[in-house]
Structure 1
Amino acid sequence: MSITPFARRTRLLSALALGAVGALALSACSGGSTDGGGTAEDPIEITFQSWVPNVDRAVDAFNEARDDIHVTLETITAGPDGGYAKMLSAVQAGNPADVAQVGYDSIPDFLVNDALEDITEYVGDSAEDFVPWQWETGVFGDQVYAVPQASGPLGQFYRKDIFDSLGLAHPTTWDEYYEAAKVIRASDPNRYIAAFAFNQAPWMIGLAQQGGANWFGTDGDAWVVDIDGEATLSVVEFWQKMIDEDLVKIEADFSTEWNADIQNGNVLTWISGSWADAILRGTAPDTAGSWAVGAMPQWVAGENVSATWAGGSASVVLKGTKNPEAAAEFALWLNSDPTSVDILTSVGAGWPAIADTSVVPSLQDDPEVFAFYGGQDIWDVFAESDAAVDTSWKWPPLSSTLFASLTDNVKAAVDAGTPLVDAYHATQTDVVAALEERGITVK
């Protein structure tokens, strides 16, 4: 059987994930050049696709600072069924945007679809400006395909006022979390420590990662898949116990019901990324002063192990742009210039990918944010969380398949009342089959 171009790219991605330096099947040729750059009278026009709310503030700041490049923002829907599908279709049609926001988890997907420009010559000297593990999410072999923007280190948002009224402290271990859940449930028939968000694969993956799981690795040019390994199932069994004992509310987060429960104090904690701060402030403004943030509960007392919500997101230059140099220049500015990073942080884009966060004013003093959390500097928590992320975690090709399979299987288990571990076994089978169907070798 002949090997398809797609199979060649995916096999090569496996090799690149191990740092192999070989002949690249992922073409690095660009769709055009800037022909010497733009001028004030005739600036280079580029389009930037992003889902981050209020990112237009950063785009406006760039346009005000530069007269040789002009950026037009195109707002898209996040995720594989929204903006990503649109991006890939445009690349295939030969009319892509120039710069696009893509999650760390989806960069391999874009690579195997040959949808990214190699921007090494434009940004390759900037690695030292960024947190190493975030920078590496866009590096395959010696080629740079993305400029990191921000990560989503996990923390535990909780209603400190209600915890205090019940004599509860911030749970520092999962055993304490379980005991607190029982006290909270007994205090009010409508009250739960958390929602079990069956709709959020990134949340479930983050919990597994924090529990010591590592779902994907490479062995030679083959992928190793371990979604239903011992570490994962130990975490799953904990949440199964929480469901069986009616200690968590089974509901989709970001739903109307969930929003109401956050507002009225019926759901008291939310384990989520640093960017969730902006969501809480926007969803439940009347609860200002009632919340606090702590580190994730630990499986072993005294440890400091964290994880992320789907890693984070980056700026990529899409294959076929006519202005790769200008596009890469904007991507680098957007994610490293202190003015831009300050704007992105304040609007909830996530924990900055730049190495020196001391240059970000909103991380040093943010009266609006700190007041919402009773005067707490919550960024200290996320700085520690980001530093404690397991950086060995790898994202595979077809992460969109992973997310869809996991949410579908978990929802089916919850609806039918069948064991959650079965959902993870099914997801293991689904993902292996999907990789093999695409010609990707799996061990």
Structure 2
Amino acid sequence: MSTPPRRLRGRRLLSLAVTVAVIAPLAACSGPADDGPVTLTFQTWVPGIDQAVDLFNEQHEDIQVELQTIVSGAEGGYAKMLSDVQAGNPADVAQVGYDQMPTFLLNGALEDITDYVGDDVDVFADWQIGATTFNDRVYGIPQAAGPMGLYYRSDVFAEAGITEAPATWDDFYAAAVAVRATAPDRYIAAFAPNQAAWMEGLAEQAGEPWFQVEGDAWKVAIDNPDTLRMAEYWQRLIDEDLVKVQADLSSEWFADVQAGRIVSWMSGSWADAIIRNNAPETAGAWSVGLMPQWDEANPRSASWSGGSANVVLKGSAHPEQAAEFALWLNSNLDSVSLLTENGAGWPAIADVDAIPSIQSAPEVFEFFGGQDIWDVFAESSDQVARDWQWPPLVDALNASLLDEVGAAVESGTPLTEAYAAVQERMVAEMTAKGISVAD
């Protein structure tokens, strides 16, 4: 089998400070059987991943993988995984988002696979392997992410006198004014109170992270100055009617995108397929740029919801073989090319130039006026913040964001107050769960 070139890269090492009881240790794992191949179960919802699993099975006589397609984590997949771990009958390998890794660790649901994978993880981009590494121990193999960029209607921008993607947030504001003047019902973008991941991405790119570990406690800083600056910026756009307050991915939003009433979208690298599939009549009229910057001298980007990993669940009877499969799935070039081609997301390996499906995507490039949009997302990936850390109880964070920001735009309350309310709620939630929070 082919193996990707190995690149030694530093990686961000995260800590997990919790003071709650975790699921009781399960019975000792049994070793592989001597009379046949080890059979692993793999729970995932990633589209088209069966092709990569089939390839693994073809190339490995000693390990065979049975694919179990389940509902996505947010729709109940994570709850099933945690329940299965607690019951003592987990799948061997599972799909877990970077944002959910601390919660799974909090519940004692992940195997430490450091000794099984060794330096082989150096093939991955540092920020992606960093998202699965805690206290210098590896708890998952990164698969893919969604580095963010600005999809925009270059034809409408040209009509407004804008010849390139806004480089700064000041440029984006000026573009919003210019676009608004081209038609009475046209906006540069929607402000989407239904998308916690979008709000988190804007905050991640803005600067100071919301969560950090200080000693044995979590520092919670959702209402930090950088986030409040970002909130004030979008508040200005809302107040001046330069963006449309609207749920993205809603039927109304799709209609506005198709009709050229919403002409940009700050989203992940995977969003090209959504635009192409839902607005085919706009082919050739789109371009992609990097996220506008707060500080051009120190460019930062973000990844939509972080990304996704393959983990070995606690209690797997074959953790070493499970780790071997997860590593192969996400580092073998043939496998990664299949995953990328089928929409798994931006690959976790650092050397994306070696991935065939990244280098050749004529139908994608044609839709975007001949632009190689993967070059943009490769640069965005290089700029993703290394200091962003997901907290335990991320579901509570997302719910708080949707509640507070949604209520703020509905009532006209300043967005800064909404983020302050999210801060209070998260401190209370974490404290109630026995998680130590720094003063």
Common topology (TM > 0.5): yes
Corresponding residue number in structure 1 for 2:410: 415
Quickly say closer, same or farther: Cα 1:264–1:324, change in 2 above 3 A: same
The 1:18/1:86 distance shift into structure 2, 3 A limit, reads closer
SS of 2:181's equivalent in the other structure is helix
Structure 2 unaligned spans of 5+? 1-12
SS at match of 1:426: helix
Aligned length: 422
Q: Deviations over 1:151-198 (max 9, x none)?
A: 221111111122123322321111111121122222223221111111
Q: What is the identity, as a one-letter code, of the residue corresponding to 1:247?
A: L
Q: Which amino acid aligns with 1:137?
A: A
Within 5 A, what are the aligned runs for 1:401-440? 401-440=396-435
- Looking at structure 1, the residues matched to 347 and 27 of structure 2 have their Cα atoms a distance apart, in angstroms, of 29
Give the Cα–Cα distance (whole angstroms) in 2 for the partners of residues 344 and 84 of structure 1. Answer: 21
Identity %: 58
Contact 1:33–1:325 (CA under 8 A) maintained in structure 2: no
CA contact (8 A) 2:22 2:106 kept: no
Give the 4+ runs in structure 1 shifted more than 6 A. Answer: 24-30
User: Could you say which residue in structure 1 is the equivalent of 2:6?
Assistant: none
CA contact (8 A) 1:157 1:271 kept: yes
> Letter of the aligned partner of 1:310 in structure 2?
S
**Separation of aligned partners in 2, 1:167 and 1:215:** 37
Amino acid at match of 1:275: W
* Structure 2 match to 1:283: 278
Distance in 2, Cα, partners of 1:209 & 1:189: 33
- Equivalent position to 1:92, from 86, 95, 100: 86
Q: Show CA shifts across 1:13-55 (max 9, x none).
A: xxx94499xxx9898877533425674xxx4332222232222
Residue of structure 2 in register with 1:204 after alignment: 199
In structure 2, how many angstroms separate the alpha carbons of the residues matched to 1:235 and 1:32? 49
Task: Give per-residue Cα distances to partners, 1:373-431, cap 9 Å, x unaligned.
Answer: 11111111111111112201111111111111111111111122211111111100010
| CA offsets 1:239-296 (integer angstroms, 9 cap, x no match) | 1111111211212222222222222222111111112122222222332222111011
Displacement of 1:301 in angstroms is 4.3
The CA distance in 1 between the partners of 2:97 and 2:144, in whole Å, is 10
| Separation of aligned partners in 2, 1:19 and 1:402 | 17
Q: 1:397 to 1:258 in 2, by over 3 A?
A: same
Q: CA deviation at 1:434?
A: 0.8
Matched residues in 1 for 2:90 and 2:16: separation?
29
User: Per-residue displacement from partner, 1:333-353 (whole Å, max 9, x unpaired)?
Assistant: 111010111112222322211
1:316-357 C-alpha deviation (Å, 9 max, x unpaired) = 011122222222121111110101111122223222111222
Distance 1:247 1:107 in 2: 37
Pick aligned residue for 1:113 from 93, 107, 132: 107
CA contact (8 A) 2:16 2:213 kept: no
SS at match of 1:187: coil
Contact in 2 for aligned 1:199/1:411 (Cα 8 Å): yes
Q: 1:376 to 1:327 in 2, by over 3 A?
A: same
Q: CA RMSD for the aligned pairs?
A: 2.2
Report the Cα distance in structure 2 between the residues aligned to 1:256 and 1:19, rounded to whole angstroms: 40
Question: Does the CA contact (< 8 Å) of 1:222 and 1:441 recur in 2?
Answer: yes
Contact 1:26 1:111 in 2 (8 A): no
2:225 is equivalent to residue 230 of structure 1: yes
Whole-angstrom distance in 2 between the partners of 1:32 and 1:120: 17
SS class of match (1:74): strand
Residues of 1 paired with 2:28 and 2:185: CA distance? 57
Query: Normalising by structure 2, what TM-score?
Result: 0.90
The reply on whether 1:49 has 2:43 as its aligned counterpart is yes
Residues 38 and 69, structure 1, Cα contact 8 Å, conserved in 2: no
Q: Is the 8 A contact 1:30 1:117 kept in 2?
A: no
Q: How does 1:37-436 map to 2 (within 5 A)?
A: 39=36, 43-169=37-163, 170-301=165-296, 303-436=298-431
Query: SS at the partner of 2:431?
Result: helix
297 and 151 in structure 1: CA distance in 2 versus 1, 3 angstrom threshold: same
Larger mean CA deviation between 191-200 and 219-228 belongs to 191-200
Q: Distance in 1 between matches of 2:430 and 2:221?
A: 13
Counterpart code for 1:235: M
| Distance change in 2, residues 1:227/1:294 (3 Å) | same
Deviation larger for 311-320 or 50-59: 50-59
Match of 1:35?
32
Deviates more, 1:388-397 or 1:180-189: 180-189
**Structure 1 counterpart of 2:7:** none
Amino acid at match of 1:153: P
One-letter code of the match for 2:108?
A: D
Q: What do the CA deviations read for 1:54-105 (whole angstroms, capped 9, x no partner)?
A: 2222223223333333323333333445211121112112222221111111
